[in-house]
Amino acid sequence: MRRTDTVFRRLAACVLTVLMMAACAAIAPTGQIEHGAEQFGRELQALAREGFAGQALIVHGDKVLLLSGYGTMGLDDPRPVADNAVMPLASITKAFTASAVFNLAAEGGLALDDPIGEFLETLEPPWSDIPIHALLTHTAGLPAEIRRRDEAERHRFEPVDRDTFVERVQHFAPDHPPGAGYRYGNIAYGLLAVVIEAVAEQSWEAYLVGSVLKTAGVGDIGFLMPDWHARDLVRARDAQRDLGHWLDMPRLADGMGYNIRGAGDLLARPTGILSWWHAVRRGMWLSDPWRARWLTPQVREPDGSHYGFGLHFRDSPLGPVIGHTGEEGAFTADFSWYTDLDLLVYINSAHANFQADTLRADFLAMLLDH
């Protein structure tokens, strides 16, 4: 359950958003944003005294306005969360998977219209006929999750190998023809991880790190390859329980099981997210027209926003936003790029009672309330 005062703040933020949309166009961005970031940092420090643990990064153009950790590394670990501590990205991982697919396309390894059966020999019709772009946009007709009943509590961390994962997919029939419907989930991105590995002939993380992130000068993002130390990983918690961290979870020798691989398995330091955002802004590894296509919305979501290729697109009082949220157990993360203002807001929370998207809404309310 979320704290009552947080819920009321979020409702107030929504009302304030509506009232201030017209006024927002007149905001003086630099001073307003710097003051809002300072105020937001103070609020997070206050929330840390109530149990919040996590990190926040706010960047305006090339200027870092806020980069800090809050709270403790675990319920039983009183060390403060540092600004370089490691936290999971959860579903923000999907943006990296999509960028890896686009990088393969730019290299000529695949085309977005290719049916996935060209790369997965054991996959049978009708799934083998699904084009890659339908997986990227969650329009393939796949179920959101495939899980074993006895793994319902921690199903995403079941160490499902590649062959078992593909076999499970084939037990289902598509909900609709490709492109005729939308259902967000993890399974499509697990299949994309399989495609990446088949084309690149290496693990999906090895291709991402070696051919995408290093090319762009980005470090501090990955699952196994950064060789994270357990002491640097923030532990999830609720009010009473320590819920561990990613390296505590069951996994395969080369990474997470395929039901979460490519969909929610990456870990990162905020500095990695900052470097990645700068690389995306500057087109440091993916050049146009591929970059432009990757950053274009594709399908309408039920709430009126849009999903693209591993990215979510929405409108806000501060203009259009490109980003993604992630949630796994007590961890929540929010990556929001306000493109008109050249503003990045990244928040990661390790406490179930403090949701990252709610905290981002609090920051937005602070900007609008001046």
Q: Report the distance separating Cα 294 and Cα 145, nearest Å.
A: 25
Nearest CA-CA partner of 210 in 287, 120, 87, 103: 103
Span 257-308, pLDDT tens digits: 999 999 999 999 999 999 999 999 998 888 899 999 999 999 999 889 999 9
What is the sign of the dihedral through the CA atoms of 175, 178, 182 and 185? positive
pLDDT for res 13: 43
Region of poorest pLDDT, from 66-75, 125-134, 172-181, 208-217: 172-181
Region of poorest pLDDT, from 60-69, 91-100, 136-145, 309-318: 136-145
pLDDT of residue 8 exceeding 80: no
Token code pair at residue 115: 């049916």
pLDDT for res 144: 63
Q: Report the distance separating Cα 341 and Cα 325, nearest Å.
A: 20
pLDDT of residue 138 exceeding 90: yes
List of long-range contacts for 321-325, beta carbons under 8 Å, 24+ apart: 322/295, 324/91, 324/92, 324/94, 324/95, 325/91, 325/92, 325/356, 325/357
What value does the mean pLDDT take over residues 39-62?
97
pLDDT for res 9: 43
Q: Given pLDDT bands bounded at 50, 70 and 90, which one contains residue 12? A: very low
Q: Could you tell me the maximum CA-CA distance found in the chain, to the nearest angstrom?
A: 59
pLDDT of residue 5 exceeding 70: no
Phi, psi of 241, rounded to the nearest 5 degrees: -120, 140
pLDDT for res 22: 38
pLDDT for res 23: 40
Span 163-179, pLDDT tens digits: 999 999 988 888 888 88
pLDDT of residue 223 exceeding 90: yes
pLDDT of residue 222 exceeding 70: yes
Token code pair at residue 264: 């929610």
Q: Given pLDDT bands bounded at 50, 70 and 90, which one contains residue 370? A: low
pTM, whole model, 2 decimals? 0.90
Instruction: Order the strands of the 299-300 sheet from edge to edge.
Output: 63-70, 54-60, 343-349, 331-338, 321-328, 312-314, 306-307, 299-300
What value does the mean pLDDT take over residues 144-153?
52
For residue 284, give Cα distances in angstroms to 63, 81, 212, 215, 288. 19, 31, 10, 8, 11
Higher pLDDT, 146 or 310: 310
pLDDT of residue 4 exceeding 60: no
Token code pair at residue 311: 């990215």
What is the sign of the dihedral through the CA atoms of 184, 186, 188 and 192? positive
Dihedral class, residue 54 (left if φ above 0, else alpha if ψ from -120 to 50, else beta): left
pLDDT for res 146: 62
Q: Report the distance separating Cα 290 and Cα 7, nearest Å.
A: 40
Q: Report the distance separating Cα 245 and Cα 225, nearest Å.
A: 17
Is residue 185 within 8 A of residue 142, CB to CB? The reply is yes
Token code pair at residue 43: 């609020």
What value does the mean pLDDT take over residues 196-206?
97
Q: Which domains does the chain have, with CATH numbers?
A: 1-75+343-370 (no CATH), 86-314 (3.40.710.10)
End-to-end CA gap in the chain: 30
Cβ neighbours for 368, distance < 8 A, ≥ 6 positions apart:
16, 17, 20, 23, 24, 317
pLDDT of residue 71 exceeding 70: yes
